[in-house]
Amino acid sequence: MIVSKQKSQERILEYLKDDTSVFVLGCNGCAQSSGSGGPEQVKEMTQRLKDAGKLVTGSMVIDFLCEKALVKSKLKGKDKDVEIANSILVMTCGIGTQAVAAVSKKVCHPACDTIFWGGSQGEWRGKERCFECGDCVLEYTGGICPLTVCSKFLVNGACGGASQGKCELDKEKDCGWVLIYNRLSELGQLKKLAVYIEPKDFSKRMAYGRDMKTARWALEQTG
């Protein structure tokens, strides 16, 4: 299971500051188990956003947001609600957020951070991967994780060694930051490249304190 936790409401509203309307999307898989993006949390988030003056055009909880084909097919039933929204707030792990961003033409805001607990992980068929850094930056990279697409784990732009869109270290691999640039360009969000991302504090990716006393933690450790 991939464990996620909600970002602060202040951070989420900061992401949504330029949006008047939003569609809320949750996950019945790992996010539901984590208590970060299941039906109950989606309902609560919807109300909080309304209280903050946002128009919530609709909401949905999909079994597994990491399954792009499933997400794409399910969202078709909500075409109108999604279309009139400025963006989608995705309440799940980094993999799910990336999957939604890959199949949607909307700006996708991550509502959660993903943390690594050291136990067994779920399986997913897509190419999207999550570094489980505990401080998701997908908001600024078009829903593409720089820590998994960039061979050098760079979070503030390309290294300068890419050639014809290919990675300096692996000529068969697309440069991750070219992919990010292209996605942001498609979304009209290139201004986000000017946002400086702080160096990663990898202590955030670990479980501490009360988390380590839960039954879920015990199950993760026993595999």
d(CA 142, CA 188): 10
Q: Say what the pLDDT of residue 76 is.
A: 94
Cβ atoms of residues 54 and 19 within 8 Å: yes
Distance CA 51, CA 49 (A): 5
Q: List pLDDT tens digits, range 117-141.
A: 555 555 556 688 898 999 999 999 9
Q: Are 54 and 88 in contact (CB under 8 A)?
A: no
Spell out the domains of the chain, with CATH numbers in brackets. 3-141+197-210 (3.40.50.11860)
pLDDT, tens digit, 9 for 90 and up, residues 139-185: 999 999 999 999 999 999 999 898 999 999 999 999 999 999 999 99
**Amino acid at position 172, single letter:** E
Per the CB < 8 A criterion, the answer to whether 65 and 29 are in contact is: yes
**Cα 130–chain centre separation:** 9
pLDDT of 215: 52
In Å, what is the CA distance from 96 to each residue of 64, 65, 170, 203? 8, 5, 26, 23
Cross-strand bridge partners of residue 58: 23
Count of C-beta atoms within a 10 Å radius of residue 18: 8
Dihedral sign for Cα atoms in the order 59, 187, 54, 83: negative
